[in-house]
Amino acid sequence: MRGHLTMRTGNPALNKNTFKGLADTNDQLMTIDGTINKTSIALIILLFSAYYTFSTSNTNFIMVGFIGGLITALVTIFKKEWSPITVPIYAILEGLALGGISAIYEHMYTGIAQQAIFLTMGIFGSLLFAYKTKIIKPTENFKLGIFAATAGIGVVYLISFIMRLFGSGLSIMNIENASMMSIGFSLFVVIIASLNLVLDFDFIEEASEAGVPKYMEWYAAFGLLVTLIWLYLEILRLLAKLQSRRN
């Protein structure tokens, strides 16, 4: 395999060990077109699932979706060959959770969910174009920087989660905190989440050239879903803070 596969990425699904230990095969290999198709299918499944809970304003599935999605994600990471089955299940579960969360935000700020969806898709398309045209090149320093920033954000999430267990939390994570520092933090997270897509694109391209098994198309689609879900949620949080500031 080529050297890029050992580079850093902030995506927990697509890291330096992702493509190690995969059986070589002379047929049914991963391709970029196949990955695009699998990603499209997974996104359609997620959107239909999300539409159900969003249109019914059903928030009962939020925890079920996230906990079930986490379990399914872990199974997918450790059993990549199961990804043709686990990834659609993951998309359904995460869709149920995202639809419920989006309904909560939509109740607070009308139109915010649609704005977040368009922004997420716009960022995805723009960065894919920038990657394919070499406007953005995922050099080793670029990857190291995104990896470090993502890890730092993860530490902030962990601290906030622990603080919430004791009845508090980091104020910069609160969507009702419309201070410039809070908005600036959310904007920074959106930027880092967006740039993680570039690393995902790079991993997928290198994997397709390395001759990994066909089921890795589903696994690559899973990696993109993880980043897109993170990006969408952070855009929702940022838009909510901006709306709160206007009010």
- Closest C-alpha among 33, 232, 245 to residue 116: 232
| Confidence (pLDDT) at 22 | 58
Contact 244, 113 (CB under 8 A): no
Distance CA 128, CA 130 (A): 5
pLDDT digits (tens, 9 = 90+) for 195-237: 999 999 999 998 888 888 999 999 999 999 999 999 999 999 9
| Confidence (pLDDT) at 168 | 78
| Confidence (pLDDT) at 21 | 55
Question: Which two structure tokens, joined as six digits, stand for 102?
Answer: 């989006």
- Beta-carbon contacts of 56 under 8 Å, excluding residues fewer than 6 positions away, are none
User: What global pTM score does this model have?
Assistant: 0.88
Distance CA 124, CA 106 (A): 22
Task: Count CB atoms within 10 A of the CB of residue 137.
Answer: 10
Please compute the mean of the pLDDT values over residues 70-77 and round it to a whole number: 96
Question: Which two structure tokens, joined as six digits, stand for 58?
Answer: 């059903």
Distance CA 114, CA 173 (A): 22
Question: Which two structure tokens, joined as six digits, stand for 163?
Answer: 């603080």
As beta bridge partners, residue 29 has 213
Distance CA 68, CA 53 (A): 16
Distance CA 84, CA 213 (A): 12
